[in-house]
Chain A
Amino acid sequence: MAKTDVELAVPVRRDPWITRDKVVHLLQTKGLLIAFALFLVAFSLASDRFASVDNISTVLRQVAIVGTIAVGVTIVVIGGNLDLSVGSLLSFSTVLVVDLHDKIGPGPAILIMFAAALAVGCVNGLLVGFARLNSLIVTLGMLSAIQGLTLIYSGGQNVDIADQEGTWFAFFGRDFLLGVAVPTWIFLGLAVILHVVLTRTTFGRKVFAVGGNPTAAAFSGVRRARVVFSTYLISAFCTACAAVILGSRVMGSQNNVGQGYELVVLAGVILGGTSLLGGSGSIPKTVVGVLILGFIQNGLLLLGYPYYAQWLVTWVVIILAVWLDVASKRGRLFTTTS
């Protein structure tokens, strides 16, 4: 009863925009999913191949590499930082694992590659976490440095695996388990595990705390440096997993294979609705964001548009998605700045 009284005490707003507010609110909370659903329906109507099981599993497999990295980067972003080094790290890890495969065997190659990737994550984590440097610039520097390391390691040569049929390394990129591609399993598996870590563990809470309000987190006894350090380790781990998928699928690698991935990954994360300011976001959102990117690409190709048309659509979609989010928090569509 008391609750009703309070509600009655609030004066009725005679705001002409009230209906728009409601729409905006609905769009804010479920906007991305609504858009995604409409989008899928539209494409299904336009192309009879789009909604087939075959096509959907193809898309899931195609987005696995970007998705696997994006899952890790989401955690870094929720912690209030950026990781632009993942593209270079993907190149480096893929070249390393493919090159070592023929020299010391797949098992040791994967182990060494994971160790190297985690070492890079450590450097990022030390510089951003413990030295408290700006994450954008640090990982920008690392992007360049790791790209250089990759070229030094390979001497500028492309690497490949000689025996592509006989190695069990092919499992990660080329095989299917229960009818679903292994890359998809790795992507979704990591997403589920890290979602649980983020939502059900103290560590997850600390990541949100550090990203949302570092000062409050510090006063609550959260050690920011350690949390940030761990987020970069996770991001590097996910990138290493993506490198296994990529190396196994291609059975070879160019030195710049991961170039530009950092920004595509970030596009997926942003599209999902994770704020670059930190403190909010989730892994399922990122999965949706990455899937939208994947389905845009796939759908436009099926409809016969040129390959690069997807980038134009992505441009519009990213800005619209974030604009909706920002506008609903602001309560109006446009800023009032003069």
Chain B
Amino acid sequence: MTKSPLRHLSRIPPIWMILIACVAFFSVFADSFFAIGNFTNILIQTSTIGLIALGMTVVMINGNIDLSVGAVVALAASLAVGLQADLGIVPAVLVGLGAGVALGFLNGMVVWKTGVDAFIVTLGAMMGVRGLVFLYTGEQSFFSMNFAYADFGMSSIAGVPTLAWVFLALTVIMHVVMTRTTHGRNAYAVGGNREAAENAGIRVGRHMVANFMLVGFFAALAGITLSTQMGASTPNLGTNYELWVITAVVLGGTKLTGGVGTILGTLGGVLTIGVLRNGMNLMQVPAFYVLVVMGAILIAVLLVDARVNRRVAGEVKL
């Protein structure tokens, strides 16, 4: 079995072409864009959205969605910062992560057992968890009194920020999980044809719960890394993150209908958003325009995708 390198090239998600074009554009037109320091900056800036996107990719490949991630970000951050005075940093962080996993478990169990669409279940959770955050925090921001917490967010290993390492390492792990393990193969099977997956003996319900716990974990981790960057948490943290994350994942080529998507594509989508924000910022374009460009790119990618991949079979064109 010989694989030509070209065949490998064709599997690179198309978003990477857009990403390379963006990097080339900003390298020419934005001063101080093309610098190692700036690239690590982009990695830190995108790691929050990126971490959640890793989990969201798997959930969306399953054919589900999780709208509650933004609220989980706030909950985990508030718990990790709010409890560390009493518990110490490590236990507080563990409680934050545990809350994310527990909420993921809850979402997953409800989706599995009730058969209610994940969009509705997590839309409800999005409001409910945000309500929990406001009740827990009493609408207050929390500040970390222990500087070790914020120092961790600022630290770097071998010249690269620790948070960037965390993001990159987890990206590699998730890539391996999705391409080399049974769980990864099952994710595609469940999303591609759920009934067939069930008949093939995949325990679809448990599988989906595991993935909701995964995205809950990643959302909580993102909340904690975000709060280490600021040394604080606010109850509004993570508002609208679900929309940004879904945008990144869809840009990366994952289909909402399930069965299609890659971690590499998601990484490309996340980095494209990061590069656009960073580059336009360096060119001193007001932040407002980034929103318009993001929306336009999202729709443009969809249009191109529809032109290239439209399956005519089974559809009546009128």
Do A and B pair up? The answer is: yes
Which residues of the other chain, A, contact B288 by a CB distance below 8 angstroms? 148-149, 151-152, 156
Q: What A residues does B243 contact at CB under 8 A? A: 84, 140, 143-144
Task: Tell me if B302 counts as interface (CB < 8 A to partner A).
Answer: yes
Judging by beta carbons under 8 Å apart, are B318 and A224 in contact? yes
Contacting residues, chain A, for B205 (C-beta < 8 A): 335, 337-338
List residues of A (153-180) whose CB comes within 8 Å of B's CBs: 156
B135 close to chain A: CB less than 8 A? yes
Give A296 Cβ to nearest chain B Cβ, in Å. 11
B131→A308 contact, CB < 8 A: yes
In the assembled complex, which residues on chain A have CB atoms less than 8 Å from the CB atom of B316?
214-215, 218-219
Given A225-B318, A319-B121, also A312-B291 (CB < 8 A): no
| Complex-state Cα separation, A319 to B106, whole angstroms | 12
As a 0/1 sequence over residues 192 to 226 of chain A, the CB contacts with chain B under 8 angstroms (1 = contact) are 00000000000000000000001100110011110
Residues 122-145 of chain B: 1 if any A CB is under 8 Å from the residue's CB, otherwise 0? 011111111110110000000000
CB distance from A174 to the nearest CB of B (A): 29
A38 within 8 A of B: no
B123 proximity list for chain A (CB < 8 A): 263, 266-267, 270, 318
Within 8 A of B (CB), among A255-274: 259-260, 263-264, 266-267, 270
Q: With a CB–CB cut-off of 8 A, which chain A residues contact B115?
A: 323, 326-327, 330, 334-335, 337
**At the interface, yes or no: A254 with Cβ under 8 Å from chain B?**
no
Tell whether, in the assembled complex, residue A314 and residue B128 are in contact, meaning their CB atoms are under 8 Å apart: yes
Asked if residues A133 and B303 are in contact (CB atoms below 8 Å), the reply is yes
With a CB–CB cut-off of 8 A, which chain A residues contact B1? none
Closest A residue to B298 by CB, please name it. Answer: A141
Q: How far is the CA of A37 from the CA of B112 in the complex (A)?
A: 30
What is the interface of chain B, defined by CB distance below 8 A to chain A? 67, 110, 112-117, 119-121, 123-132, 134-135, 198, 203-206, 239-240, 243, 246-247, 250, 256, 286-296, 298-299, 302-303, 306, 314-316, 318
CB pairs A–B below 8 angstroms (22 shown): A127-B299, A138-B299, A138-B302, A142-B295, A144-B243, A151-B286, A151-B287, A152-B288, A152-B289, A215-B316, A260-B239, A308-B132, A311-B127, A314-B124, A315-B125, A315-B129, A318-B123, A319-B124, A323-B114, A323-B116, A326-B116, A335-B205
